[in-house]
Amino acid sequence: MRLQSVFLSGLLLTGAPAAAQTPDPASADPGDWLTYSGQYHSQRHSLLKEINTANVHTLQARWVYHMTGQKDLEATPIVANGVMYISQYNRIDAIDAATGNVIWQFQRQPIATGAQRGTGFWNNKLFVTTSDKHLVALDARNGSVLWDVAVEGGLQLVGQAPLIVKGKVIVSGNQPHGFIQAYDAETGKHLWSWSPIPADDDPALASWGGQKPDGMPIWVSGSYDPELNLIYYGTGQPEPQWAGEGRKGDNLYSDCIVALDADTGKLRWWYQNTPHDTHDYDSLEMPVLVDAPWKGKPRKLLMQANRNGYFYILDRTNGEFLQATPFVSKIDWTRGIDAKGHATPDPAHDPSVQGTTTCPSTAGATNWPSPTYDPQLKMFYVVAQEGCGVNLRDTARNYAGTGYLESPEPGKSWQLYTRALDAFTGRKVWDYEQVTSHHYGPGLMSTAGGIVFSPEEFGQFTALDSKTGKVLWHFNTGDVITASPVSYSVNGRQYVAIISSSNVFAFGLPDDRKKP
Amino acid sequence: MLVAVTVAMLASGARAQTSNPFTGNAAGVDEGRSLYNDTCTRCHGANGAAGEFGPGLAIPGRSYARNTDAEIFTAIKQGIPGTVMPAHQGKLSDEQIWKITAYVKGLRGTAIDAPAPGDVVHGEAVFWGKGQCGTCHMIHGRGGIVGPDLSNLAGLRKTNSIIDALTREQHRVYGPGGAQPHTLTPLPTYPVVRVTTADGVTVRGVLRNEDSFSMQILGLDEKLHLVDRSRLKNVVYEPRSLMPTDYDKRLSKDEFGDLVAFLTRLGEPPPPSQPPVRMPGKDPD
């Protein structure tokens, strides 16, 4: 029996593409999940379809792995050559993706917890962001350290899953202000750095009303177009976060989608979703790259469901604004978006001492949890959060702080939905209400099997029909889910995995071979 | 006298100062609030509720890793290794950090720390008698089970919050702001639901938990009803809580004041955090 399965796996491996030993995120082997969003275009759409609408009701847990000493994991598992890699700051566990048995563990001291969202795989290497301002490369076979470098400039990297493109490890951070850096994946050598702070000779500097630009954290991974050789990232909110009177103007390059040359880190174009932000509408939501006709002409598009409540479509070759449509029921922070895509904020919704109700809330119409795009159905699925928030501030000083409260309407706290949009009109096709889930929520994944896998904050892992949103299957994982699901295959068997707090669950169809 | 001692300690340059010179100093605490707003809210949120990146520093009922003034002071000054909490040494003076510490500690206080004045014995009589509070609420094993157990009410809630619950319609305890939950818990509120099964049986009660597929209801019949949504014909979420909110009108001024005096003494201050205990057993070491 054992011999047979070894033979079978060997057979399948030799039958796989030649790159199987060192899979590349640019290749489209659906059996692996090599980067945060699965592939560079970040569609999060698995081409696997062994699990489909006809049999998903029989889905069962195949194994569970507990990552000791951890909680609240936000990592997307990375899967390459039948091995799954689960990450945290300073930590990676490698497990057999078919059985859940641990193969090796890497723990750099100290044990850390925090919002770390995954590792990246490249040429049999994995990359770890540390809590002490280092970047480390491990050998994916045994967890040995291949190189360990101090982060350029002595900066702290955030938990953004490293994006590996053309042999470069792309990482980012928030302090002292947002930045993106690239390192050579083979040696750890620093290659370039970019910051959304405009340079002294950049006309964008005038968009700060004389104040020194500040803020703009970059804390989620981006996407990559190999043909254009551009990486796409979102940037965060300007500082001071809630007080805009000292920074009159649009405050570039805050709350932007930016396209950088992958080789040099030079800014090629930008589009600003939220000019002069006073509500913390970071543009860190995943930019999804789609090649499709737009008004009859084939175009390279970029789609993003933004925290500010609009679903955007841009031309990703040059950043041209094509369309913005609301994807939540109420938006009042802006007076509107003009034909060129420039939004004018409504100062009546600036934070105030008594509290200003603004829609969407600061937590956003959506947030970092990933959306997914089904290229067959041409549907965009997003975790949408309905509800408004109260922004407070202390007027004593420009830098005066504040916070935000839950929905002020009694009995109407925020509510999360798994929402299907027609990707080209932005029209809502269906909604699935995630009962009891109110904050951010986990991310989504669609599959060629016609399913949207929709984990819920309060532990349910649910399979929805991609066309209708109908519930086909669900499983209570028993803990809070703040991560995104992935799918992969080992020996021809499809698995769907999700991390729930500190436990990794892998689901598959019943194993008929074990039946008497 | 205390002030003099503290000043003397400061003057002597005591290396490991553990007492907070601004405890109970209204101006210092207020300045601490302002410094907190400038420095801490971005991660920790306003008013001690949790923010986007950091935990809530003053959420009633939760336990903290750092309880003493010295522990909080050290965490602010030196940061917390292994987390994104940065050190503020060099950015804030020790005096400023003590003020923030005093503000955070003040946020954490509950009713039991400063109980309302009044006739407690009379207040208890009102609770079980004219107020009819015991119909829904239990104290140390006596009373109803549909509402929250109040045995430790004053150890969990502030006096203002208790008075609001008795007098304000749609009173609700604000949740932890924009933070995600870290554990699965029963519902923090007691929403009223009425469900009807396919067989035509109606159950009314408070919802203790629910998801897209099931509901866990504590019925007004004091029985647990564990319900599969797919077997329900009808679900109604009632807009109002079962809790009356006119106690300042249905009770006399003295009765109300004495009831508050009683309620603000229910419970004990939270114990300081302690390391986990390993109990003796048969585990081979």
What local confidence, expressed as pLDDT, does residue A27 receive?
67
CA distances from B48 to A144, A389, B12, B25, B186 (A): 43, 17, 33, 19, 22
Per-residue pLDDT for chain B (285 aa), expressed as one digit of tens each?
333 333 333 333 444 577 888 876 778 878 888 888 888 887 787 777 666 667 778 765 566 778 788 999 999 999 988 777 889 999 999 999 999 998 888 777 788 877 788 999 999 999 999 999 999 999 999 999 999 999 999 988 888 789 889 998 765 544 444 456 778 888 878 889 999 999 999 999 999 999 899 999 999 999 999 999 999 999 999 988 899 999 999 999 999 999 999 999 998 766 666 777 778 776 554
Q: Quick one: which of A314, A259, A304 has its CA closest to A281?
A: A304
- Contact by Cβ (8 Å): B126, B255: yes
The nearest alpha carbon in chain B to A408 belongs to: B174
CA distance A492 to A507: 14
Chain B residues whose beta carbon lies within 8 Å of the beta carbon of residue A111? 82
Chain A residues whose beta carbon lies within 8 Å of the beta carbon of residue B236? none
Best to test chain B binding among A175, A398, A436, A477 (most B CBs inside 10 Å): A436
Written as six digits, the tokens of A130 are: 């540390």
User: Cβ-count burial of A9 within 10 angstroms (0-12 exposed, 13-18 middle, 19+ buried)?
Assistant: middle
Task: Give the pLDDT confidence of A417-466 residue by residue, as tens digits.
Answer: 999 999 999 999 999 999 888 878 899 999 999 999 999 999 999 999 99
Task: Band the pLDDT of A52: cuts 50, 70, 90.
Answer: very high
What does A431-490 look like in DSSP terms, one character per residue?
EEE-TT--SS----EEETTSEEEEE-TTSEEEEEETTT--EEEEEE-SS---S--EEEEE
- Establish if A405 touches chain B: CB-CB under 8 angstroms: yes
**Which helix or strand (DSSP H or E) is residue B159 part of?**
helix B159-167
CA distance A54 to A7: 30
The mean pLDDT value for A230-241 works out to: 95
Q: Is A338 a catalytic residue?
A: no
- Establish if B54 touches chain A: CB-CB under 8 angstroms: no
Please state whether beta strands A321-326 and B224-228 pair in parallel, antiparallel, or not at all (unpaired): unpaired
CB contact under 8 A, B213 and A401: no
- Establish if A474 touches chain B: CB-CB under 8 angstroms: yes
User: Cβ-count burial of B16 within 10 angstroms (0-12 exposed, 13-18 middle, 19+ buried)?
Assistant: exposed
**Residue A309 pLDDT more than 80?**
yes
Chain A residues whose beta carbon lies within 8 Å of the beta carbon of residue B239? 411
Nearest to A480 among B51, B183, B191 (CB): B183
Nearest to B175 among A241, A406, A436 (CB): A406
The ipTM (two decimal places) reads 0.76
Which regions of chain B does DSSP assign to beta strands (E)? Answer: 138-139, 142-143, 192-197, 202-210, 214-219, 224-228, 232-238
- Cα A228 to the center of its chain, rounded Å: 21
- Specify the residue for token string 């989504």: A444
CB contact under 8 A, B177 and A404: yes
CB contact under 8 A, B47 and A436: no
What local confidence, expressed as pLDDT, does residue B175 receive?
45
The mean pLDDT value for A158-171 works out to: 96
The mean pLDDT value for A60-86 works out to: 95
**Residue A112 pLDDT more than 60?**
yes
Return the amino acid letter for A253: Y
The nearest alpha carbon in chain B to A416 belongs to: B212
Question: pTM for the complete prediction?
Answer: 0.82
Q: Name the phi and psi angles at B253, rounded to 5.
A: -60, -45
What local confidence, expressed as pLDDT, does residue B109 receive?
78
- Specify the residue for token string 């407690």: B120
